[in-house]
Amino acid sequence: MHPLTSDLFHQRPLLGVMTDIDDTLTTDGAITSDALEALGKLKAAGLHVAAITGRPVGWSEPFAGSWPVDAIVAENGAVALQPLPGQRLVKRYQQDETTRQRNYARMQEVLAQIEREVPGARRATDSPGRETDIAIDHSEFTHLPQQGIDEAVRIMRAAGMNATVSSIHINGWFGAHNKLEGARWIVRELWGRDLDAEMNRWVYVGDSTNDQLMFQHFAHSVGVANVARFVPQLQHLPRYVTQGERGAGFAELVQAILANR
């Protein structure tokens, strides 16, 4: 990982910024004023802005309607919330309703199994807002040791689910979507563009193992400083890292981007 400097983004004009939410935009569970202001500056500069998160669609709705973003892609790429004038939100899904209903029933069985078999495992408190995945809390309101995290991931994958670990939750779901597929999808849906053909014109910023695919594929992949917690578990590191942690690190990134506009 290399230190973030303001001369990184001058080669080709950037089209937009994609960002994780928890412990990237937020600090101690809430977005900070400097991070919120930074989102607004990106929009004011004419850049596309999308948040890509493992958080549920229900949890994301108030933020999609109030933050200066083009969309929030929730549940690791499965659902997108697009604010329109007048604060009406358009909800988009990658899976059809029949598939979602079938998968939901199967996922509840796996969730119950994890809570039954993994000592200390508890579903995330935001679970009622989830439509296409499940989440086990490991660091938000409870502490689940690494052995428990590993066992929860094993159970999910044994059931045929995808599983990933964010800074606060273990997420599991059925389907081919993930954060990267969600990013490709929303770029096509909202702007009619091919993300892979223009990967060097987008920035992604995150903080955990749940951001690995993004770190691997984005030419401008950035970790806020607290990504250091997960470095031993990362196969793909962000190319650059901020000095500041969490929301302060995001604001630092935006300052570097706008210095070259």
DSSP 230-260: GGGG-SS--SEE-SS-HHHHHHHHHHHHHTT
Q: What is the 3-state secondary structure (H, E, C) of 46-74?
A: CCEEEEECCCCHHHHHHHHHHCCCCEEEE
Q: What is the pLDDT, as a whole number, of residue 85? A: 81
Q: What is the pLDDT, as a whole number, of residue 260? A: 74
Beta-carbon neighbour count of residue 214 at 10 Å?
A: 25
Q: What is the pLDDT, as a whole number, of residue 86? A: 74
Q: Could you tell me the two tokens for 236? A: 């793909």
Q: What is the pLDDT, as a whole number, of residue 50? A: 98
Which amino acid appears at position 184 of this protein? R
Q: What is the pLDDT, as a whole number, of residue 203? A: 97
pLDDT block averages, 10 residues each, the chain of length 261: 76 90 95 97 97 95 95 97 86 96 98 98 96 97 97 98 95 96 97 96 96 96 96 94 97 93 74
